[in-house]
Amino acid sequence: MQSLSPRVRALGAAGVCLLIAVVAGLAVDGRLDRHWVLRGMTVFLAVCCAALLLADQTRRLRQIVTAVGLAMFGVVIPVTQTVWSKPPEIAFALQVATDAKAAAGKASSSSVSIADVKAAAEARGGAIGSFPTEKSPQVRGADAYPIIVRAKRDQGRPWACVSFTGLDAKVRPC
d(CA 127, CA 119): 9
Domain termination residue (choose one: 30, 60, 83): 83
pLDDT score recorded for residue 70 = 78
- Say yes or no: 164 and 92 in one domain: yes
Q: Domain of residue 168: give its range.
A: 88-173
Q: How far apart are CA 95 and CA 74, in angstroms?
A: 31
- Name the domain count of the chain: 2
Q: Say if 137 falls within a structural domain.
A: yes
Per-block average pLDDT, block size 10, for the chain (174 residues)? 69 79 75 69 80 71 77 81 76 87 85 86 85 76 80 80 83 80
Pair 107, 149 in one domain: yes
Same domain, yes or no, for 138 and 111? yes
Q: Which of 25, 52, 83 lies at the terminal end of a domain, its last residue? A: 83
Mark whether 98 and 38 lie in a shared domain.
Answer: no
Position 1 in a domain: no
Same-domain pairing of 77 and 152: no
- Please tell me whether the overall predicted TM-score, pTM, comes out greater than 0.95 for this model: no
Q: Is residue 37 part of a domain?
A: yes
- Per DSSP, the residues of 74-119 read IIIHHHHHHHTT--HHHHHHHHHHHHHHHHHHHTT-SS--HHHHHH
Bridge partners of 172, per DSSP, are 161
Question: Which of 49, 83, 117 delimits the end of a domain?
Answer: 83
Which residue from 21, 15, 34 is spatially nearest to 75, judged by alpha carbons?
21
Pair 130, 148: CB distance under 8 Å? yes
pLDDT score recorded for residue 31: 65
Whether 97 and 75 map to the same domain: the answer is no
**Is the domain of 76 the same as that of 94?**
no
> Do 27 and 67 fall within a single domain?
yes
pLDDT at position 38, please? 75
Instruction: Give all strands (DSSP E) within 102-167, no chain letters.
Output: 127-128, 147-150, 159-165
Q: Are both 79 and 93 inside the same structural domain? A: no
Judgement on whether residues 102 and 151 belong to the same structural domain of the protein: yes
Same domain, 52 and 128: no
